Amino acid sequence: MSNRKLTILGIVAVLMVIWAVVQSRISSRPRAQPEAPAYLIQGLDPAHISSIVLGVGEDAVTLERQGGRFVVSNKDNYPAKTSEISKLITACLDVRIGELYTDDPANHKDLGVAEENAGTVVKFFKPDSSLLTGVVVGEVGEVGEEQMRTYVRLASSDKVYVTPNVPMIRNRAMDYIDPELVAVKREDIESATVSSPAGEYTLKPKEDGKGIMLENMPAGRKLKSNEGDRVFTALTNLRFSDVKKKSAESEKLTFDRQFVCRLKDSTVYTVMIAQREDKTYVTCSAEFTDRTPVTEKEVRDANDAELKQKEAKFLARDRAKGFSVKHQGWLYEIADWKAESLTTKLSDLLEAEEKPEETEKVEDPNAIKVGDPNAINVGDPNVFKWLNAEE
């Protein structure tokens, strides 16, 4: 091998050693970390959340974990809707951040991320009441003529970031409560009975299933179909606007009205109604009235269709029991328009029955009128003689 080739190989070897050393140093050098993560909150385990506070001051809403679920402290610890709690946590975890705008707390108020003037404040607390994490969302600021930006920070940090997405966070106590009281299917209703100091009446479906009829319809009256249907279906979607525990004050209410809805599966829903000034309050209960015992032998000897019927019976019984347990001790406020359906007077459901029109008789000008002195007396024998003579 020539000296020239040896020289070239030597140079290549040296270059490779140098490149290896450079690569080694680069790989061992600490990597530059991004100044801010992609998401504002990272590593939050929902299982560690003991309570959640939305807002600040007197208007704050507190959601507290009791047992295996959350309750709304502002509403006498009424059970919170699990799906809404999940949406709240997800909304906070989904807050993304962009550039760091400032880390000076003196700027917080101007950006709307000071707690006293923030648009949204959500704090998550540990069982010992210490802060786990939280989100403070500020006001929208202008960037140029058309673009807008929103500022956000962690409740435990002074760093304020620009966020490309604003979380939709509900901040009223009732937003975290399921407002549904009763929701039955129209085709399952056997009857609806309204009772009040003015009397009682019962509505039922017609035999053909088309329309509603009134039991013991007064003579000469008929049911206003639209009004009757509104009352009959009052429990297909009964919702409340507020709730509180029964108290000594609520015991002063007079529950002198009642709405009873009987279903075909033997479930009976009873709504007791009290009205004070411009508000309507109700209490609810349910009972399964079919108490026919089912023996082990009957279950063993039943065919598939009979087993399904018995299973449906057990499920209906358990639903009625669970309904009463859930609503026992609670007082609900309902909207005026719904209260009207539960308390409609019978007189407001009825109207006069239309009578068939009589056909107007047209008088024949040539007819013989009784009592007319000029009329021919058909009983006079001379009349026939006269008529024969005329012929």
Residue 293 has a pLDDT of 78
Residue 34 has a pLDDT of 44
Residue 386 binned pLDDT confidence (cut-offs 50, 70, 90): very low
Q: Each residue of 232-248: b (16+ CB within 10 Å) or e?
A: bbbbeebebeebeeeee
Range 43-70 average pLDDT = 94
In the chain, the percentage of residues whose pLDDT exceeds 70 is 77
Here the tokens at position 191 are 């009857």
Q: Which of 35-44, 80-89, 133-142 has the highest mean pLDDT?
A: 80-89
Residue 237 binned pLDDT confidence (cut-offs 50, 70, 90): very high
CA-angle at 176, arms to 182 and 252, nearest 5°: 60
Residue 238 has a pLDDT of 97
Does an H or E element contain 272, and which?
Answer: strand 267-276
pLDDT top residue among 179 and 31: 179
The SS3 call for residue 64 is strand
Chain centroid offset of residue 330 CA? 18
pLDDT per residue as tens digits for the range 246-264: 999 888 999 999 999 999 9
pLDDT per residue as tens digits for the range 197-208: 999 999 999 988
The answer to whether 101 and 157 are in contact (CB under 8 A) is no
Residue 379 has a pLDDT of 55
Pairing of strands 131-143, 120-125: antiparallel
- Give the total residue count for the chain: 391
